[in-house]
Amino acid sequence: MVTPRVLCIVLAGGRGSRLGPLTTGRAKPSLPVGGNYRLIDVSLSNAMHSGLIDVWVLQQYEPHLLNEHLAGGRPWDLDRTRGGFRTLPPFQGHDRDGFASGNADALARNWPLITAFDPDVLLVSSADHLFKIDYREVIATHLESGADATVASTEMPKGMDLSRYLIVRADGGMVDGVDYKPANPVGRHVGTEVFAYRPAALEENLRGLLDEGGDLGDYGDRLLPRMVKHGTVAVYEHRGHWRDLGTPQAYLDSQLDLLTDRPPLSLDDPDWPIITSMPVRAPALVRRTAELDRAWLTPGADVSGVVINSIIGPGARIEKGAEVRHSVLMGDVVVRAGARVSRSVLAEDVVVGRDARVGAANAKHPALIGVRRRIPAGQEIEAGAEWEPSKPRHILRSAR
């Protein structure tokens, strides 16, 4: 059997505007997750463990921090002499400007590069999700079906709002309908934004959409509906954990789920570890006054206070008498004595002054505090509040 030539493209250009101040100055895939990782580590680790050796990262919004983290693909063993890792920045071509209107448009703009690679299978994934998947199984399903495209779908838990997802309807392994971000979703199977394409079929459909005019947008806007209507689209059922971290509530809760007695996902599974290039720091320090319960302390953390059901980022410091509950703190955050942080996300280098209050324990919407903000002593920040970084470029200095 001839091994198919596979090109994996990881889409990492999203702005993540729903995450407010957390993505000011950086692309969503560069956001920390699980304390010691970044979101893009998940997709790149899935590709590495799946044996994919040609992986391209397509960028657009604020790629600077992301590029520093990617380190030329070296942490994921993708830095080969020939082929291997490549970043695809936005560019100005002879016929179109470089800023894409969505995922489908991004593929169309980079199609000459894809054609030059000449893959048998084009595997496309997003860098915004928390999950583990063996891409080889998706590729095998795609090749066995002979379909023009294959979408990996998963069944979401009951009660979740699915109005921001691609709803997939399938019968007998083939997709017979899709609804993109429907107001009233029917069914609980959603697309995971992992797709395998037959390149010739994808090119034909992209050209057809370009001839019709208008923005190509994201897959679900026009591309997938067209391929379902005029071609064949298979479905691969992903039965493991999958979460989109695209909203403040999902970003916080999906990480806190990792702290439960039976976490839905293990980031350090010996058979499938998430690989990262985060900076090396000294071990975390727990002082005698500390009180910990369900707490992740990443390297360099220094804890003298109370940490309950929270993730404490690299170099963060929780002083004696301070409390952090049901929250995610990124790198080098300082919580001064007497301060209380509840159900909040604090970006890098935030300082919470003495006796300040941030968020509320039972709030639906977390408080979000942007990079390097200073919360004055005694100030109260209500649940759901969003504090933008005072200067967006602070995130670049914080990353060094």
pLDDT digits (tens, 9 = 90+) for 201-250: 999 999 998 888 888 888 888 899 999 999 999 999 999 999 999 999 99
* 212 and 162 within one domain: yes
* 359 and 245 within one domain: no
Domain extent, residue 302, equals 285-398
Q: What is the mean pLDDT of the chain?
A: 92
* 245 and 304 within one domain: no
* 296 and 201 within one domain: no
Residue 212 falls within a domain, yes or no? yes
* 325 and 227 within one domain: no
* 339 and 212 within one domain: no
Amino acid identity for residue 27 in this structure: A
The domain tally of the chain equals: 2
Going by the DSSP 8-state scheme, the letter that residue 87 receives in this structure is E
Contact between 366 and 19 under an 8 Å Cβ cutoff? The reply is no
pTM above 0.85, yes or no: yes
* 324 and 372 within one domain: yes
Q: Comparing C-alpha atoms, which of 295, 400, 289 is closest to residue 348?
A: 400
* 55 and 176 within one domain: yes
* 200 and 104 within one domain: yes
CATH number at residue 200: 3.90.550.10
Strands 32-33 and 37-38: antiparallel
Residue 96: the pLDDT is 63
* 381 and 247 within one domain: no
- pLDDT value at 100 more than 80: no
* 233 and 182 within one domain: yes
Strands (E), 198-253: 233-237, 242-244
